[in-house]
């Protein structure tokens, strides 16, 4: 790990000052490994490899988005073959740009495509059930991005929302996740700050759309032989808001001070900057 001398700190602080926003992804990256944050967000270093799981998640999201896009446009939901073609195209786009793809043990492109087919089928069935059970829901936006300032001393936070819907007086914001297994209470608690970010970002929109409250939701599709769709609407407390503020302040304090130690863990194997990190 390099030692940041007094002479080196101004350039790091100058680079930090070029960040026009933070994101939940950036915050979690810093908390996991500050050195990886530095490579990605400050140095904009080229990726040396990419996790197959990350490519898979992005491709699955593209297929899921196509389902919501059809609903938004009032069309029939796409069939499984069409959605698998969407998944395959998205996978290829990302895979072709990756110098190296890191697969988990026992996985390859074909096994992941088979898994995607099962998960997409489960997701479409869920979408059909939701359309029947909640015909009054109206999709407002997909991949909606917004920025807001949580703390005066930090850059704005950017929230990128998967699905934004209006259900009576409720503004629903849904974050789509893929997971090896069902989420338990601990997993929900770990991810809750992300929804707190989203709730803050949407406050100015409430009056514009005639809503009175925000309902953040996690929609989880499990990577199982028989995938399951979980819908979780956690309740955030004032304590969760304070925890988010502390996390953002602590991350920004570390970034401004040029504190970027490497933190080793299971994530190192698929880190896109592993070679660069080991060479410093």
CATH number of the domain at 71, please. Answer: 3.90.320
Beta strand spans in the chain (E): 22-23, 50-51, 101-102, 138-148, 157-167, 170-179, 213-222, 229-232
**Residues 30 and 165: beta-carbon distance below 8 Å:** no
Count the helices and strands in the chain (H runs, E runs). 9, 8
Which pLDDT does position 15 carry in this prediction? Answer: 63
Is 114 within a domain?
yes
Is 261 within a domain?
no
Is 81 within a domain?
yes
Is 37 within a domain?
no
Which pLDDT does position 2 carry in this prediction? Answer: 37
Which pLDDT does position 163 carry in this prediction? Answer: 95
Is 20 within a domain?
no
Which pLDDT does position 195 carry in this prediction? Answer: 87
Is 24 within a domain?
no
User: Assign residue 143 a region: left if phi > 0, alpha if psi is -120 to 50, beta otherwise?
Assistant: left
Give the structural domain span for 68: 50-244
What contacts 16, CB < 8 A, 6 or more positions away?
42, 255, 256, 258
Number of domains, the chain: 1
Which pLDDT does position 14 carry in this prediction? Answer: 55
- CA-based torsion, 268, 39, 220, 80: positive or negative: negative
Is 54 within a domain?
yes
Is 176 within a domain?
yes
Q: What's the CA gap between 142 and 42, in Å, rounded?
A: 28
Which pLDDT does position 151 carry in this prediction? Answer: 93
Q: What's the CA gap between 86 and 80, in Å, rounded?
A: 10
Which pLDDT does position 235 carry in this prediction? Answer: 85
Which pLDDT does position 4 carry in this prediction? Answer: 37
Which pLDDT does position 19 carry in this prediction? Answer: 87
pLDDT of the chain, 280 residues: tens digit per residue: 333 333 344 445 556 667 889 999 999 999 999 999 999 999 999 999 999 999 999 999 999 999 999 999 999 999 999 999 999 999 999 999 999 999 999 999 999 999 999 999 999 999 999 999 999 999 999 998 888 899 999 999 998 899 999 999 999 999 999 999 999 999 999 899 988 888 888 888 888 998 999 999 999 999 999 999 999 999 888 888 888 999 999 999 999 999 999 999 988 988 999 999 987 6
């Amino acid at each position: 790990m390099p030692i940041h001398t007094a002479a080196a700190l101004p350039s790091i602080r100058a680079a930090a000052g070029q960040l026009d926003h933070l994101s939940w992804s950036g915050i979690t990256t810093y908390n996991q490994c500050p050195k990886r944050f530095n490579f990605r967000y400050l140095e904009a270093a080229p990726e040396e490899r990419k996790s197959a799981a990350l490519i898979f998640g992005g491709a699955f999201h593209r297929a899921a988005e196509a389902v919501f896009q059809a609903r938004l446009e009032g069309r029939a939901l796409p069939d499984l073959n069409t959605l698998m073609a969407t998944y395959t195209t998205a996978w290829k786009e990302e895979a072709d740009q990756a110098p190296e793809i890191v697969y988990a043990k026992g996985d390859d492109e074909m096994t992941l495509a088979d898994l995607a087919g099962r998960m997409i089928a489960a997701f479409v069935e869920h979408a059909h059930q939701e359309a029947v059970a909640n015909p009054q829901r109206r999709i407002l936006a997909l991949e909606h991005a917004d920025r807001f300032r949580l703390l005066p001393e930090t850059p704005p936070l950017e929230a990128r929302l998967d699905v934004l819907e209006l259900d009576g007086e409720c503004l629903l914001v849904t974050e789509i996740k893929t997971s090896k297994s069902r989420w338990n209470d601990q997993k929900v608690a770990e991810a809750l700050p992300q929804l707190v970010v989203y709730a803050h970002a949407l406050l100015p929109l409430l009056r514009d759309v005639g809503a009175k409250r925000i309902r953040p939701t996690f929609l989880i599709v499990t990577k199982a032989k028989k995938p399951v769709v979980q819908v979780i609407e956690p309740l955030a407390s004032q304590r969760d808001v304070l925890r988010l503020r502390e996390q953002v302040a602590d991350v920004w304090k570390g970034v401004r001070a040029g504190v970027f130690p490497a933190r080793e863990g299971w994530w190192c194997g698929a880190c896109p900057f592993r070679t660069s990190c080991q060479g410093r």
